[in-house]
Amino acid sequence: MSHEAALHNHEGHGHDDHGHHEHHDTFLTKYVFSQDHKMIAKQFLITGMVWAVLGGLMSVLFRLQLGYPDASFPWLESILGKWAKGGQITPEAYYALVTTHGTVLVFFVLTAGLSGTFANFLIPLQIGARDMASPFLNMLSYWFFFIASIVMLSSLFVETGPFSGGWTAYPPLSALHDASPGSKTGMDLWIIAMALFVVSSLLGGLNYITTILNMRTKGMSMTRLPLSIWALFFTAVLGVLSFPVLLSGLILLIFDRNFGTSFYLSDIYVNGVGALSNEGGSAILFQHLFWFLGHPEVYIILLPAMGMVSEIMSVNSRKPIFGYMAMLGSLFAIAILAFLVWAHHMFVTGLNPLLGSVFVLLTLLIAVPSAIKVFNWLTTLWRGNIRFTPAMLFAIGFVSLFISGGLTGIWLGNAALDIYLHDSYFVVAHFHIVMGVASMFGMFAGVYHWFPKMYGRYLNNSLGYIHFWITMAGAYLIFWPMHYQGLAGMPRRYFDFSIWESFKQFAELNRFISTVAMIVFATQILFLINFFYSIFKGRKVTVLNPWESNTLEWTTPINPGHGNWPGEIPEVHRWPYDYGKDGHEFIPQTTPVGEDESGTH
Amino acid sequence: MATTQLETNTKIHPYKMLLWVGFGSIVMMFAGLTSAYIVKKSQANWLEFDLPNLFWFSTLVILVSSFTIQMAVKKAKAGEMAQYRGFLSVTAILGLTFIILQIRGFQALELNNVALTGARSNSAGSFLLVIAGLHLLHLVGGVIAIAVISLKALAAKSSTNQVLSVELAASYWHFVDILWIYLFVFLNWVG
Ligand code: HEM
Ligand SMILES: [Cu+2]
């Protein structure tokens, strides 16, 4: 039993010893500086939720401006002070809000909050490991994220405000202190926070990859892994290979900002400053470095959602996932292509047209694996014995959103169309549907599905249904009209559209979108209430495997301790998708293959 | 090393695999920088200059240090404490020498009127500073690791508990060495 000694000397002598072991954990080691992957997952989740609320609130504030550009709300001034003088958000504050909203949602919520939570929670539990390869580095990964969060948060409170040049941080706004108020201290803090964030996700990613490759239990071959694990694996690979390139780009940015170098800056003329002394820098160079991360990043956000949706769909359709190997192949294809398409964000930068058409071709190729995945989800649902749990609804909602947003991706991937649509609300609609809301749905699906394993209690179903339907309807009501606005030429990142004759037609539509956005935001509060109430007061889980699922996490005790299994780690005999096989409702991965069983995976 | 007892399904120690995946990350960081270098060089306004000879010496030093750390691993495995400590210390000293030579190299460029930073700088020089400087930071990390292991080696009676640490440190050290060779070739001839 040497392996038991590894993480916990006190465990592994049966469940009874459990209480004995808890004595050694202080509050600090159990809840704060925990090295237990399950606790770290919860830390990522809760921190991510805090950011989701803050980021969501920011969007409510700037939607207020877009919906009611002429109105004045005195209460705004009492919350925001000089950022809302006279009850109206200032342009500078508007840009700061949009920028911080984007940065926070993309990186802190949908990367750290999503991968951080579910890679940590699911990988050891579903592959049959007691913890990560290095629990210590794993803990550091969270704390780097935490410090990054504090630094980013503090940028909201500096005199000149947070960075306001967009989440993509293009120079010269990001490189020049004098370019805008947000380019001063706010940008310094933005860079520091992002650098810390990169370190956090690297430490996490290294651990996830190593753990999946190296620490699977007996019998768990790579092709017996649940698709959730495969998706998290490719996510980590994308992160480990692309985040360092962003870091390189940021380091060059730091040099331009502070040491007078000319990587991105050239002898441009700046109002109030005059011509810069820099020579020969190229702002486009930053865009290449940024989007070399930026595009893989959108898949870093999407893949975990895809993986969890596959798993949840199979469990709740009571059917094997359709085309396991095709799902795996498409994940692989998406991961490879993710590195080869970044310049589709740069069609209007004066890119060589020949190069542009290569990027068009590669970009449109992504539609192939994407379509395969959609087909397989739909065929998994087909004639299934579907259980419409809230998790399942969010999973189905994910597929709907992925189809809608993927289709507009094909429009944008054509350079000829994109030159017109670039930087318009069409792009905003595209990426919010396909990435923002879809991945959020994946995250909700995951939380609803694995909450019983996380906290040993159930979430309230009725609240879950209300949460789903309003959010689903709201997502389409908010973002569908934006396609039309974009087609009509309405540019993104403008503070006030009411002064243009051509956009006056959208005044009412903008007010409508803003109203729905507030309703949807309020609905998320319902989810928060459900979440925190259920942690303490939810209905208790009394069976090991409430969803009658095949995967390993449901073979652990209802409230597993550090080390996950009190005794030996179970051995795996089959793939995780034996639902409705040979007349059995479901056959867990730990069940040995019977003598007269039909072909097994 | 508590985790050495963790169950694994390959023969590779988890820490070693972590390190190797980490190499992939570091490679991408420098791949990003050297690609940016190539893009930038192809545009107008690029200053051509020769690398000072000091960088040849530092290359020689780092090559030798790879050999000495490998000897340290060998001696640690054989349990020959005195020699193990000796090779570790020599490696650390060579590492420090490399650091000094690199910094001298940067200073030599500045003396030759190749400004690395500031208003007079050209991105050719700035790139050299950033690329070689970041490499240097990675090497400093290695020196610190070796220093920690050396201190433990001084206190320890036998080397059996240290084989894993010194093997990890050696892998990292070889990696940083090979990385520098790549950068050196790149900066001298390719770029
Ligand atoms: C068939 C698949 C897809 C294609 C062909 C595609 C294509 C594109 C193109 C060409 C753009 C640039 C638009 C512009 O700025 O002018 C774009 C923007 C974007 N896409 Fe997609 N896309 C696809 C799927 C996705 C997915 C799955 C995600 C995320 C999960 C995603 C996230 C984004 C984001 C975040 C942006 C905007 C970034 C910004 O400028 O702020 N896309 N897409
Ligand atoms: Cu993209």
Residue B191 has what pLDDT?
63
B50-54 mean pLDDT:
92
Task: Tell me which residue has tokens 């020769």.
Answer: B50
B49: region left, alpha or beta (phi > 0 left; psi from -120 to 50 alpha)? beta
Residue B9 has what pLDDT?
67
User: Which protein residue's CA is at the shortest distance from atom 37 of ligand 1?
Assistant: A431
Q: Which pTM value belongs to this model?
A: 0.93
DSSP state of A541: P
Closest CA to A315 of A473, A119, A455, A452: A452
- Number of A–B residue contacts, CB under 8 Å: 141
Position B7 confidence tier, pLDDT thresholds 50, 70, 90: low
Neighbouring-strand partners of residue A269: A275
Q: Is A289 within 8 Å of B6 when comparing Cβ atoms?
A: no
Token pair for A259: 């040491």
The predicted-structure confidence for A477-497, as pLDDT tens digits, reads as follows 999 999 999 999 999 999 999
Amino acid at A115: S
Residue A601 has what pLDDT?
65
Average pLDDT of chain A? 93
Q: Is pLDDT of B4 > 60?
A: no
The predicted-structure confidence for B79-138, as pLDDT tens digits, reads as follows 998 999 999 999 999 999 999 999 999 999 999 888 999 888 899 999 999 999 999 999
Q: Which residues contact B57 (CB under 8 A, 6 or more apart)?
A: B101
B36-62 mean pLDDT:
92
Residue A582 has what pLDDT?
86
Q: Is B31 within 8 Å of A245 when comparing Cβ atoms?
A: yes
What structural domains and CATH numbers belong to chain A? 27-266+278-586 (1.20.210.10)
CB atoms < 10 A from the CB of B149, how many?
Answer: 24
Size of chain B, expressed as the number of residues it contains: 191
The predicted-structure confidence for A435-468, as pLDDT tens digits, reads as follows 999 999 999 999 999 999 999 999 999 999 999 9
> What are the backbone dihedrals phi and psi of residue A594, each rounded to the nearest 5 degrees, phi first?
-70, 165
Token pair for B66: 């790879």
Q: Which residues contact B42 (CB under 8 A, 6 or more apart)?
A: none
DSSP A97-126: HHHHHHHIIIIIIIIIIIIIHHHHHHHHHH
Residue A600 has what pLDDT?
65
Residue A330 has what pLDDT?
97
Position B158 confidence tier, pLDDT thresholds 50, 70, 90: confident
Helix (H, G, I), strand (E, B) or coil at A69: coil
Task: Give the closest-approach CA distance of A474 to chain B in angstroms.
Answer: 40
Q: How far from A77 is each of A83, A84, A313, A601, CA to CA, in Å?
A: 7, 5, 47, 63
Neighboring chain A residues of B106 at a CB cutoff of 8 Å? none
DSSP A354-410: HHHHHHHHHHHHTHHHHHHHHHHHHHHHTT------HHHHHHHHHHHHHHHHHHHHH
A478 lines ligand 1 (CB under 6 A): no
A494 alpha carbon – ligand 1 mean position (Å)? 20
B153-159 mean pLDDT:
83
Predicted complex ipTM: 0.93
A363 lines ligand 1 (CB under 6 A): yes
Residue B11 has what pLDDT?
72
CA distance A288 to A281: 14
Task: Give the closest-approach CA distance of B22 to chain A in angstroms.
Answer: 6
Neighbouring-strand partners of residue A579: A586
A422 lines ligand 1 (CB under 6 A): yes
Contact indicator for A52, A464 with CB cutoff of 8 Å: no
Q: By CA distance, what is A254's nearest residue in B?
A: B130
Average pLDDT of chain B? 91
Q: Which residues contact B114 (CB under 8 A, 6 or more apart)?
A: B47, B49, B122, B124, B125
Structure-model confidence comparison of residues A467 and B42, the more confident one: A467
Q: How far from A164 is each of A161, A180, A183, A274, CA to CA, in Å?
A: 8, 8, 7, 22
What structural domains and CATH numbers belong to chain B? 51-190 (1.20.120.80)
Residue B160 has what pLDDT?
79
Task: Give the closest-approach CA distance of A255 to chain B in angstroms.
Answer: 8
Q: Is pLDDT of B10 > 80?
A: no
For A151, the enclosing helix (H) or strand (E) is helix A135-154
Residue stretches of chain A with pLDDT short of 70: 1-24, 600-601
CB atoms < 10 A from the CB of A281, how many?
Answer: 27
Q: Could you tell me what percent of chain B has a pLDDT over 70?
A: 94
CA distance B118 to B105: 18
Position B43 confidence tier, pLDDT thresholds 50, 70, 90: confident
Residue A12 has what pLDDT?
35
Task: Tell me which residue has tokens 């193990």.
Answer: B84
A429 lines ligand 1 (CB under 6 A): no
Residue A9 has what pLDDT?
36
Q: Which residues contact A222 (CB under 8 A, 6 or more apart)?
A: A216
